[in-house]
Amino acid sequence: MARGKQPRSKPSCVFWKTIIETWYDLIRALHGISFEIKQGDIVALLGSNGAGKTTTLKTIMRLLEDDQPEKGTIEFMGKRIDRMDTEEIVRLGISYVPEGREVFPELTVMENIQMGAYTRKDRQGIKDDIEGILKQFPILSERRNQQAGHLSGGEQQMLAIGRALMSRPKLLMLDEPSLGLSPLLTKEIFGIIQRINQEGVTILLVEQNVNMALKYSHYAFLMENGRIVRADKPEVLREDDDVKEFYLGIATETSAKGYKRYRRKVRFR
């Protein structure tokens, strides 16, 4: 396990036990990682492009077809899920908003939201949840009959999150929710994420805006080359010279001296 210990006061939401390796497009993407996500937390998964962050989310959701872990287990709320199909995982309580939002552009806002309830049969509950989503995102209510492809990037992100909430998730996984958004919209999206978390939903967040991710998360993992190289509370990571240099872009005397040592550590850990 990487440096830093998670507090044990909260029960586990996701427990990932030593995934030895995962292959993606014939490339070994994950190398012997283990981690635990606590219920009710916002957890950030950070790292450079190609570090294995998106592969981690897709592995949890079983979206890599046959490219699944050869060894190890993934548990959610005490149940093993690494051999379930994606629909079973959604029914169990995990929702995933992929990078790029991936709304259905030809469908209306309302139709997109309805698509998020595809695993549910309770008509009245679905109707109530749709109204709740529209209240939570007033701009979507205003545009409910508009095609999703005509929404702005921020509005599409709100729609993607709203659609994911229709499955009533216990864990919401978000891949780069602020990508391509202005600073103002980024702040708004993170406010929405925080509000969802305060309503009891655990969040696993992949985010390129490290400053914002550390500001809103309770715990964070740093990934490089398919490995978790650091795990700690945001306030601890913010004060680490290596993190300042390589993730926050803040140069320090000690971080400059330790560049080669840090890269060797990341590469071979």
Answer whether 219's CB lies under 8 Å from 232's CB: yes
Residue 53 phi, psi (nearest 5): -65, -55
What percent of the chain shows pLDDT beyond 90? 60
Q: Above 60 in pLDDT, residue 207?
A: yes
The per-residue pLDDT for range 50-90, each reduced to its tens digit, is 888 998 999 899 887 655 566 678 889 889 898 899 999 99
Contact indicator for 56, 45 with CB cutoff of 8 Å: yes
Q: Mind listing the pLDDT tens digit for each residue in 98-145?
A: 998 889 999 999 999 999 999 999 999 999 999 999 999 999 999 999
Better pLDDT: 201 or 259: 201
Beta-carbon contacts of 259 under 8 Å, excluding residues fewer than 6 positions away, are: 245
Using only C-alpha atoms, the chain has a radius of gyration, in whole angstroms, of: 19
**Confidence class of residue 36 from pLDDT cuts 50, 70 and 90?**
confident
Cα gap 52→35, rounded to integer Å: 14
Q: Which residue has the higher pLDDT, 165 or 35?
A: 165
Long-range interactions of 196-201: CB distance < 8 A, separation 24+: 196/161, 196/165, 196/172, 197/40, 197/41, 197/42, 200/40, 201/165, 201/169, 201/170, 201/171, 201/172
In DSSP terms, which residues pair with 219 in a beta bridge?
Answer: 43
What the chain holds in terms of domains, given with CATH numbers, is 12-103+168-235 (3.40.50.300), 239-269 (no CATH)
Query: For residue 103, what pLDDT is reported?
Result: 95
Could you give the CA distance from residue 22 to residue 38 in angstroms, rounded to a whole number?
23
What's the CA gap between 205 and 258, in Å, rounded?
Answer: 28
Spatial separation of the C-alpha atoms in residues 45 and 223, rounded to whole Å: 7
Residue linked to tokens 């029914």: 91
For the cut 80, the answer to whether the pLDDT of residue 221 exceeds it is yes
Residue 167 CA from chain centroid, whole number: 16
Task: Give the confidence band of 1 by pLDDT, cuts at 50, 70, 90.
Answer: very low
Q: What is the pLDDT of residue 101?
A: 80
Show the DSSP H helices in the chain as ranges. Answer: 53-61, 86-92, 109-115, 123-136, 138-142, 153-165, 183-198, 210-216, 234-238, 241-246, 253-257, 259-268
pLDDT band per the 50, 70, 90 thresholds, residue 199? very high
Q: What is the pTM of this model?
A: 0.84
Three-state SS string over 134-197 comes to: HHHCHHHHHCCCCEHHHCCHHHHHHHHHHHHHCCCCCEEEEECCCCCCCHHHHHHHHHHHHHHH
